[in-house]
Structure 1
Amino acid sequence: MAVKTNYSINGKNYFRVSASFGRDSNGKLIRKYFYGKSEKEAKKKLEEYKESLKRGLVVDKNLYLSPIMEQWLYEIVRNKIKASTFDRYEDIFRNYFKASSLSYKLIKDIKSIDIQKYYNDLYKSGKSYSRIKSINKILNYFLNYCFAEGYILRNPCLNITIPGKNNFTSKEVEVFSRDELRTIIQSNDKALIRLIAIVSFSTGMRIGEVLGLSWNDIDYKENQIHINKIVACYTEIYGDIRKKVKVIQAPKTKSSIRTIPLPTTLIPVFEEVKRTQNINKLKCGSSYKKEYKNQIFLTEDGNLIYPTNLTHSWKLLLKRLDIPYKKFHSLRHTYATMQFEANVPLKTVSVLLGHASIDITADTYTHVLKKEKNKSADIISVLKMC
């Protein structure tokens, strides 16, 4: 029986198979061809080549960082992460890798010193330690992929020092005073942002979590609030088309999905929101959006609220109430600080805040914990005097 072939060279018949291995500097797929006297032999050569790549015995010579990283980002990473996370990754790639000094270096030729120099230059140009740390996180992720694929024999990110670490100090969190909180609570200001703020500092919820609340998340019978979704804002990317969108999605981490106590003082707040929502429905009539009818906090026409759009409303509210400006997130810090001042255990506060670990809570509120610790020391001193 004749052996099946599909390709001829110099009058001789072969079976040819091909596979793509990344892209060249112009973005074109790099294809490699393997020939054998039969289909089985050709495919065996292809598999041997792939295996040699994985074992680091063959390193492709024409793989440039930028085009391969872009392909990896869009074809592999995009399928593993949320669209909002992909937006952040794509932003870092576009601003720090697509047209950087590393862009068209061969991946196999990139050394630790090249990456270190690039980071040092970024730091000198004014980029912060935390920003460069985020950039390095993405590059390290990509180079680990390259190592797994056999494009490089080792990850050059392993010996990198993020510049600015010695100068980096975590800022003490800003909190609102009790008088400022009373001013917000007792105000007759009708802006929706005031009610959103009251919910935030009464529960410690993040802004996206507050906006993600639906009416069935409020359990009046058990006096609980179920936090299981957020409103996120990100850029959707389709080739050269970029569109800003807002969606309801699951929180970033499992620990963010939680159930917290419903303060009874919030019940009148939710009732006020409900009344306002009913008035808006009557005003808008058929133009009121029904898609989000179960959500608690919406625009006047029933649409989702952009978390980023609240910044302007928040500034105006504080100005009207004659309260010095602090970020909206400071309400969450205020909640946590007051919990510690009330001697609520660190672990409990961590769970209430939805932190991924107790270490995050401890690191964020070091100054508060130290202050409370010093209070304990004062009590011991008093005991010794008795």
Structure 2
Amino acid sequence: MKGRLVVKNGKYYVVISYQDESSKSKQKWVATGLDEKNNKRAALDMLRTIEAKFANGTLGANSQQSQKSSALSAEQQEDVSSNDSPLFSDYLYEWLQIAKTNIQVTTYSVYKHRVEYIAAYFAEKRTRLKDLKPKDIQEFYTYMQQNGKSVQEAHHCHTVLHRALEVAYRSDYILTNPADKVERPKSPKFKAKFYTAEQMLTLFQKLQGDPYEYIYKLTAIYGLRRSEVCGLRWSAINFENDTITLDHAVVQCEVDGKRVLVTKDKMKNQSSMRTLPLLPAVKDILLNLKREQQERAEKYGQYYNRQYRDYVCVDEVGKLIRPDTLTTHFKSFLVRNNLPVIRFHELRHSCASILIASGVSMKAVQEWLGHSTFSTTADIYSHLNFSSKLGIADTLSDILAGNTMLKRQTAPDTIETMRKIFSTAEIEKPANENHLQTFEVLDEYGEPVEENAAAEVSQDTAPDDADDLSVFKKAKEEMSRLGLETLDEYFEYLDFQERLQKRRDKSKDMEM
């Protein structure tokens, strides 16, 4: 037996949860007649009294009904009959207040928005908690899609419903969790766009002089989440040991109807808290930025905001740069400069795709991006480089033939790859600037798109070298014959042919 206080229509009620002789969970609702305002202590006293009466068997159905009849209208009596449970919509708000103490303020903001939407639907139907069936939840998802809500939003609402009902189940308010029996809404695979290394270098050139240049470069080079780059602090950057630590975040959320900034030391997951090497190009950017911020602080004096003096991403007067501002500015910047439009978060995808196309292992990419598990990285990016599957086949062939296994990619290899990719970003002019393309991650039924962003043409060759020019013309002719549009695609084709030939040769050797 367990008692609790519930506020309904501005009044306190005592709810007693218990099991009858057949071990079936039941509830008794007792009206206190007390208003919610300024009566919390008196309500608690009544709770203890009613719990004692119930335990002694002196709280009868007749006395309870008489108390309720004196304080409730006919409709309210229907809502809180002695053996009934609360309306599901009321329970959702009760659960939200319980969950509030155990979740981050940003998560609470999202949950509150969704609880309001879900509760409005079930309040109209006057569905009670104990009467909620799987078909009721399934009909709610159908209602959402019929009213323009996305499958993704239905998926998020399912998460809220399941967690709320799981608490009700563990608290013995219901016998089973009906959400367990509902077919979970399936979200379509998102088609994420990303830049190649060539496109990234073009972006870096165009960014010169932009007020948020350093933010977008940091995001692209380290594959940062928006909250991570906004939460980067000077105290987390070690210029002597050349390291940069990600252990803080800044997010925006809605609190009491207002969009506010929230700073937090808790990251998305434990793996998100990571220390990465400070690349030379990034070190120069940050040192210059730190000097500029110190000069502005001296220039504006008392008008400079010193509350966020440890933060890297602040504006000219020291205020934190809002995450939403970075997103909207990035999109408008791409449009103004006639660059392929990608989301701000897709700079993170671009970093991963460039690393994978450059031969970096999935495990190393996981550590660089701060994914919680290897499977997260593999699920998102495994399709990007088909040549890695050929590499696996080659490795297996080597083992069967008794040859030495290939060297694994290590963390220092990843660092060196990033250094090579971005070290000349300030001065190198990419080829085919007018032929930038975006490549999308296709869904599970589509054909995977490959882009070997690591293919490079040597910059040491003289343009008037007759032999190389002849080779180039032949390559262009062959590209035309094969229907290939870019040199990257041509180099990918050559790489594929080379690997395929090696496999054939090995097969012949094994047959002999």
Normalising to structure 2: TM-score of the pair?
0.62
Shift of the 385–109 alpha-carbon distance from structure 1 to 2, 3 Å rule, reads: closer
Residue 218 (structure 1) aligned with residue 237 (structure 2) = yes
Q: Does the aligned pair in 2 maintain the 1:194–1:317 contact within 8 Å?
A: no
**Structure 2 match to 1:20:** 4
The corresponding residue for 1:382 is 501
| Bigger mean CA offset, 319-328 vs 302-311 | 319-328
Counterpart of 1:304 in 2: which secondary structure? coil
Q: Which residue of 2 aligns with 1:148?
A: 170
Write the mapping of 1:360-375 to structure 2, written as runs, cut at 5 A. Answer: 360-370=376-386, 372-374=388-390
Q: Is 1:228–2:247 an aligned residue pair?
A: yes
Give the distance between the partners of 2:271 and 2:207, measured in 1 at CA: 36
Equivalent position amino acid for 1:317 in 2:
F
Match of 1:97 among 98, 115, 119: 119
Q: Percent identity?
A: 26
Contact preservation (8 Å) 2:100, 2:108? yes
More moved, 224-233 vs 303-312: 303-312
Quick one: which of 102, 105, 129 aligns to 1:80?
A: 102
Contact 1:27 / 1:67 at 8 angstroms: preserved in 2?
Answer: no
Secondary structure in structure 1 of the residue aligned to 2:251: strand
Could you list the per-position Cα deviations for residues 70-128 of structure 1 after superposition, in whole angstroms to 9, with x for gaps in the alignment? 12202x11100110110010011112323446763111111111111111221233322
CA distance in 2, matches of 1:206, 1:228: 12
* 1:234-313 correspondence runs (5 A): 234-237=253-256, 242-249=257-264, 250-313=266-329
SS of residue in 1 equivalent to 2:353: helix
Structure 1 residue 218: deviation in Å?
A: 1.3
2:367 alignment partner in structure 1: 351
Which string of whole-angstrom CA distances, capped at 9 and with x for unpartnered residues, describes residues 215-242 of structure 1?
Answer: 12112233221000111111223xxxx3
- Offset of 1:296 from its aligned partner? 0.8
Deviation at 1:21, TM superposition (A): 4.9
Correspondence for 2:142: 120
Distance 1:278-1:102 versus aligned 2 partners, 3 A rule: same
More off after superposition, 267-276 vs 253-262: 267-276
**TM superposition shift of 1:283:** 4.1
How far residue 65 of structure 1 moved from its aligned partner, in angstroms, is 1.1
Distance 1:345 1:243, change over 3 A: same
The Cα shift of 1:374 comes to: 4.8
User: Does the CA-based 8 Å contact 1:97-1:103 persist in structure 2?
Assistant: no
Q: Unaligned stretches of 5+ in structure 2?
A: 15-28, 32-47, 59-81, 394-495, 506-512
Provide the secondary structure at the position in 2 that maps to 1:97: helix
182-191 vs 203-212, greater mean Cα deviation: 182-191
Matched, 1:321 2:337: yes
Q: Structure 1 residues 374 and 132, CA, compared in 2 at 3 Å: closer, same or farther?
A: farther
Give the letter for the 1:204 counterpart. Answer: G
Q: Name the aligned partner's letter for residue 501 of structure 2.
A: V
Whether the 8 Å contact between 1:101 and 1:118 is mirrored in structure 2 is no
RMSD between aligned residues? 2.9
319, 326, 330: which one pairs with 2:346?
Answer: 330
> If you compute each CA radius of gyration, which structure gives the higher value, 1 or 2?
2
CA distance in 1, matches of 2:365, 2:267: 18
CA 1:321–1:149: 2 relative to 1, 3 Å? same
- Which amino acid is the alignment partner of residue 71 of structure 1? E
Call closer, same or farther: CA 1:223–1:41 in 2, change over 3 Å: closer
Q: 5 Å matches for 1:25-64?
A: 26=9, 28-31=11-14, 43=52, 45-46=54-55, 60-64=83-87
**Which residue, 201, 220, 224 being the options, matches 2:220?**
201
Kindly state the Cα deviation for residue 269 of structure 1 after the two structures are TM-superposed. 1.2
Secondary structure at the residue paired with 2:130?
helix
Residue 128 of structure 2, aligned match among 78, 91, 106: 106
Aligned partner of 1:190 among 174, 196, 209: 209
Q: Which runs of 5+ in 1 are unaligned?
A: 1-17, 50-58
Question: Do 1:112 and 1:160's aligned partners in 2 also have CA atoms closer than 8 Å?
Answer: yes
Q: How many residues matched?
A: 348
Secondary structure of 1:231's aligned partner: strand
**Does structure 2 retain, via aligned residues, the 8 Å contact 1:228–1:258?**
yes
Check the 8 A contact 2:303/2:317 in 1, yes or no. Answer: yes
Q: Name the CA distance, whole Å, in 1 between partners of 2:335 and 2:113.
A: 33
Question: Normalised by the size of structure 1, how large is the TM-score?
Answer: 0.81
Contact 1:183–1:321 (8 Å) recurs in 2: no
Summarize the Cα distance change of 1:160–1:48 in structure 2 as closer, same or farther, 3 Å threshold.
farther
